[in-house]
């Protein structure tokens, strides 16, 4: 069986199908299921391959006659051909017809066995065994805007369809990469797409599909393998051979969501603009003469990971008590976009002592910030070294949970072109999500700044570059650290020259005591972007001439600023 998805939005439409052909002898992920009939007509099918091939071929033969009869004649002819074939070969087969009308509007029709009566599609329609996901697609798009670029809609549909097929299809009837065509005023256009599994702890998985010179080709970038999609009549003449390329059934090892922390700070002020992230008054220790006290501060959080709508909860843990100080629902639409929060918090502290400010996502603990509230004496206020006295007292505290589980925790981790910092301030200059370079390898010079809380004792920290498609690793640097307190963070700054071997998606991992702690995700592109954001023609020419273009992370957050990239 199969799945063919049709979606009609305003004046445009799209068709999407899988690539699997299943028989008693084999499962083959190489069947073309959206067939070109004319430059402005395409036919999708679900069911018997020989049946579908006959209908498509007959439709092509009768095109000159059909064209004169107009839309009504075309729909009638599809029904007539299907009924004729069904009388000779009664195999259940459904069809979906996509076309561009004379006025430029895209139209979709479905023909269901056995009557094959044409039914106009508005919104979603699906045929094949994968139709079980229709209600999920309809529900997900109920409040979505459909008057936007059809390519943007296609991206959302294929992402959601992949996820829903993984959850709902229990057999091998759907597989292979999606074949996606857009029906626009200018004609019918195939689109290329791909994916990379961006969980650094899982096995590599990276695939893509594109059409060149009328032929779809699937690429497995992890295994360095490709597979050509065949037209039905060619596949029918080949002996069936098992050729699985992609399964949608969910891998049970990947069922749990995962998030990767980039920073969790408390501060007095913060500033974010294109090319700059700055935190001022990054406090973790506070000294007061009188308690109880109410303390106002900003909490800054950034992470990336599993998309969706998530419940964030900030909890103050002190003296064995847990107090929820803030709750919020956030939405992460896609990877690799990070989630950034900057929120004012008001903490009620009844008495001095250590505390942990904890943030969790859907019950999963993402980060823990060690804080210390010092008891000042009146005469201490005038002491010039009071800051050191407070920090020395904080260093005597112990994070029992950390000491028991032996896990290091992230305060911040960033890769940027430059950095300025001291004990109370942190300025990150030009954090980039994409680098554009024409001739690889790319010698990329970056500064990496990090801060970790660690259990007492010696620890080995390693930075490594990892190719997301293959999980191949290259060591960038390493350092031995001795932690004297699990309450005091240890900052580390390094200037590294990293050689990026080829275009692709990469992780910069920080590994502590042979355990990956967190990762930064970035793309390495040429002038023709494949994995990340595309460029203006003028930018492409600059890259071709040998310039390195770096796309600022902050620029991707605001569409008005997306062209504010820096040329190096």
Dihedral of CA atoms 67, 70, 76, 81 in degrees, nearest 10, equals 10
pLDDT of residue 34 exceeding 50, the answer is yes
Predicted pLDDT of residue 254: 56
Average pLDDT over residues 77-102: 96
- b/e map 542-551, b = 16+ CB within 10 Å: bbeeeebbbb
Predicted pLDDT of residue 561: 43
- What digits encode the pLDDT tens for the residues 224-236? 999 999 999 998 8
Identify which has the larger pLDDT, 503 or 253.
Answer: 503
Average pLDDT over residues 110-115: 98
Q: Which of 303-307, 412-416, 484-488 has the lowest mean pLDDT?
A: 303-307
Q: Which of 24-28, 330-334, 500-504, 561-565 has the lowest mean pLDDT?
A: 561-565
Provide CB contacts within 8 A for 485, sequence distance 6+. 394, 395, 396, 397, 398, 456
Provide CB contacts within 8 A for 479, sequence distance 6+. 460, 461, 492, 494
Predicted pLDDT of residue 423: 86
Do 78 and 44 form a contact (C-beta atoms < 8 A)? no
pLDDT of residue 563 exceeding 80, the answer is no
Query: Distance between CA 229 and CA 35 in Å, rounded?
Result: 12
- What digits encode the pLDDT tens for the residues 472-495? 999 999 999 999 999 999 899 999
CATH class of 3-250: alpha beta
Average pLDDT over residues 195-209: 92
Predicted pLDDT of residue 31: 96
pLDDT of residue 66 exceeding 80, the answer is no
Average pLDDT over residues 528-535: 86
DSSP lists the bridge partners of residue 449 as 414, 493
Band (pLDDT 50/70/90 cuts) for residue 341 is very high
Predicted pLDDT of residue 418: 95
Query: Distance between CA 508 and CA 159 in Å, rounded?
Result: 25
The 8-class DSSP code of residue 59 comes to H
Alpha-helix runs per DSSP H in 294-396: 386-395
CATH (one of 3.40.47.10, 3.20.20.100, 3.40.50.1220, 2.60.40.10) for 259-407? 2.60.40.10
Do 346 and 294 form a contact (C-beta atoms < 8 A)? yes
Band (pLDDT 50/70/90 cuts) for residue 1 is low
pLDDT of residue 455 exceeding 70, the answer is yes
Query: Distance between CA 23 and CA 27 in Å, rounded?
Result: 6
Band (pLDDT 50/70/90 cuts) for residue 549 is very high
Provide CB contacts within 8 A for 69, sequence distance 6+. 76, 77
Identify which has the larger pLDDT, 156 or 97.
Answer: 97
CATH architecture for segment(s) 412-567: Sandwich (2.60)
Predicted pLDDT of residue 567: 37
Average pLDDT over residues 449-457: 97
Query: Distance between CA 321 and CA 338 in Å, rounded?
Result: 31
Same topology between domain 259-407 and domain 412-567: yes
pLDDT of residue 390 exceeding 60, the answer is yes
Query: Distance between CA 539 and CA 562 in Å, rounded?
Result: 13
Predicted pLDDT of residue 23: 82
Chain mean position to CA 379 = 55
**What global pTM score does this model have?**
0.86
- Domain residue limits, the chain: 3-250, 259-407, 412-567
Average pLDDT over all residues of the chain: 91
Radius of gyration from C-alpha coordinates of the chain: 29
Q: Which of 115-124, 162-171, 331-340 has the lowest mean pLDDT?
A: 331-340
Chain mean position to CA 559 = 18
pLDDT of residue 249 exceeding 80, the answer is no
pLDDT > 90: percent of the chain: 75
Predicted pLDDT of residue 568: 37
Residues in the chain: 568
Average pLDDT over residues 102-121: 96
Do 258 and 306 form a contact (C-beta atoms < 8 A)? yes
Predicted pLDDT of residue 565: 39
């Amino acid at each position: 069986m199969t799945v063919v998805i049709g979606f009609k939005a305003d004046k445009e439409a799209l068709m999407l199908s899988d690539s699997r052909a299943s028989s008693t002898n084999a499962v083959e992920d190489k069947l073309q299921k959206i067939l070109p009939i004319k430059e402005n007509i395409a036919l999708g099918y679900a069911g018997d391959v020989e049946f579908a091939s006959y209908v498509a071929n007959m439709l092509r033969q009768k095109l000159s006659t059909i064209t004169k009869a107009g839309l009504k004649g075309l729909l009638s002819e599809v029904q007539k051909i299907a009924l004729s074939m069904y009388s000779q070969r009664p195999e259940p087969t459904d069809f979906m017809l996509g076309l561009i009308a004379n006025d430029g509007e895209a139209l979709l029709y479905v023909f269901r066995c056995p009557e094959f009566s044409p039914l106009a599609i508005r919104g979603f329609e699906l045929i094949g065994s994968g139709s079980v996901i229709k209600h999920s697609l309809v529900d997900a798009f109920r409040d979505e805007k459909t008057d936007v670029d059809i390519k943007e809609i296609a991206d959302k549909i294929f992402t959601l369809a992949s996820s829903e097929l993984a959850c709902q299809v229990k057999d091998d009837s759907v597989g292979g990469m999606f074949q996606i065509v857009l029906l626009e005023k200018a004609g019918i256009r195939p689109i290329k797409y791909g994916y990379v599994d961006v969980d650094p702890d899982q096995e590599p998985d990276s695939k893509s599909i594109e059409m060149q010179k009328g032929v779809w080709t699937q690429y497995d970038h992890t295994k360095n393998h490709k597979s050509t999609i065949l037209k039905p009549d060619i596949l029918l003449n080949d002996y069936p051979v098992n050729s699985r390329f992609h399964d949608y059934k969910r891998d049970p090892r990947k069922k749990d969501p995962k998030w990767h922390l980039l920073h969790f700070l408390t501060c007095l002020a913060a500033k974010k603009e294109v090319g700059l992230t700055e935190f001022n008054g990054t406090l973790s220790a506070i000294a007061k003469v009188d308690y109880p006290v109410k303390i106002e501060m900003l909490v800054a959080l950034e992470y990336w990971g599993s998309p969706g709508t998530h419940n964030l909860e900030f909890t103050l843990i002190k003296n064995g008590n847990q107090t929820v100080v803030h709750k919020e629902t956030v939405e992460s639409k896609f990877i690799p976009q990070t989630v950034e929060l900057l929120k004012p918090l008001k903490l009620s502290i009844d008495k001095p002592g250590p505390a942990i400010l904890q943030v969790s996502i859907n019950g999963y603990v993402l980060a823990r910030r060690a804080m210390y509230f010092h008891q000042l004496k009146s005469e201490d206020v005038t002491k010039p070294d009071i800051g050191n006295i407070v920090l020395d007292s904080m260093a005597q505290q112990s994070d029992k949970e950390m000491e028991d589980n032996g896990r290091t925790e992230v305060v911040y981790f960033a890769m940027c072109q430059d950095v300025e910092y001291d004990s109370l301030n942190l300025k990150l200059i030009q954090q980039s999500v994409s680098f554009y370079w024409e001739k690889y390898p790319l010698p990329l010079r970056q500064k990496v700044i990090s801060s970790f809380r660690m259990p007492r004792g010696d620890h080995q920290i390693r930075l490594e570059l990892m190719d997301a498609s293959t999980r191949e690793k290259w060591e960038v640097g390493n350092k031995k650290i001795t932690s004297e307190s699990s309450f005091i963070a240890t900052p580390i700054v390094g200037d590294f020259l990293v050689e990026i071997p080829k275009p692709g998606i990469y992780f910069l991992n920080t590994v502590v005591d042979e355990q990956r702690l967190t990762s930064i995700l970035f793309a390495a592109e040429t002038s023709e972007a494949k994995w990340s954001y595309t460029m203006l023609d003028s930018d492409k020419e600059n890259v071709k001439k040998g310039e390195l273009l770096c796309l600022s992370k902050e620029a991707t957050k605001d569409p008005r600023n997306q062209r504010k990239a820096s040329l190096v």
